[in-house]
Structure 1
């Protein structure tokens, strides 16, 4: 794992603890890139039932980037955080670290 990716993951995980986390669609973006970077492609055999809405949405988002390499997924996760911070928290110190 790249150090930028690790820093980004730690930061995103801390957002929910602060109560100032991103909206659901942004969370799905983080989720899909995280899972692809750490696990690889979603397993079609583990596709959740259509009655499990949240789990199904998460799995579908992840499955939507099937074939993406670990490196590209890590970079995409960091880019997603940069985009989020530029919009919501432009003064956050980690932003400069991630952009550099």
Structure 2
């Protein structure tokens, strides 16, 4: 894992602690790139039931990036955080680190 990716993951994991975290669609973006970067392709045999709405949505998002390399997924994760910060927290100090 790259240093930028590790910093980005640590930052994202702390976002909801202050109650001002991203909405569900942004969380799904982080989730799919994180899972692809850390696990690889989603396993079709483990696709949740259609009645498991949240789990199914997460699995579908992850499966949507099937075939993406782990390195590319790490880069996309960092890019997603940069985009989120520019739109919502442009003065956040980690933004300069991630862009540099």
TM-score, scaled relative to structure 2: 0.99
Structure 1: tracts of 5 or more residues without a match:
none
Partner of 1:59: 59
Partner of 2:72: 72
Partner of 2:16: 16
What is the root-mean-square deviation of aligned Cα atoms in Å? 0.3
Q: SS in structure 1 opposite 2:92?
A: coil
Alignment partners' CA distance in 1, 2:68 and 2:14? 26
Partner of 1:41: 41
C-alpha displacement of 1:11: 0.2
Partner of 1:32: 32
Partner of 1:91: 91
Structure 2: tracts of 5 or more residues without a match:
none
TM-score, scaled relative to structure 1: 0.99
Alignment partners' CA distance in 1, 2:49 and 2:21? 27
C-alpha displacement of 1:24: 0.3
Partner of 1:5: 5
C-alpha displacement of 1:19: 1.1
**Aligned pair count?**
100
